[in-house]
Amino acid sequence: MKHLKKLNFVVLPLAIWVITVVYVLLNKFIGTFTQNMEPSPVILTILVLIFNLGLQLLIICASTIYAVKKLDLTLKRVVISLPILYLLFGLFSPPSIYLFVFTDKWSFFSVQHPAMPSWKASIFITVQYGIVMLITTLIACRKKGANDQIAR
């Protein structure tokens, strides 16, 4: 645990990346089985927005809160971890929806749009995840500081 505390700025982006990639791959795997079902656009939108967005926020927030509480992560180290997160998503990010970014190919009124390049996708993913990580760290650090003062 002592070594993890020293490397918490590496552990957090690695954990978020691994969990997110596994989640996206499982989501794609499940999607192949439900491909024949044609839900209404409203139901599909609700499922994508609530389920996908909620789970990804849960992945980011839970990992960040754990790192703040158990690994003594600070705001400065979260900022340092963002380039690592960018490199990881640049290395491998399967086409999918990452919070509000859709990185796969799509068509609209018979116009085909190619998939987003990996460097561009990793920038958008990192910016979104980074904002959530920073906000979560600020809240968790303040709460941790308040709890530490109460314990004294």
* pLDDT at res. 116: 80
How many angstroms from the chain centroid is the CA of residue 97?
10
Average pLDDT, the chain: 81
Residue 101 — very low, low, confident or very high, per pLDDT cuts 50/70/90? confident
pLDDT, tens only, 107-133:
667 777 777 888 888 899 999 999 999
pLDDT, tens only, 34-56:
566 666 767 766 776 778 888 88
* pTM summary value: 0.80
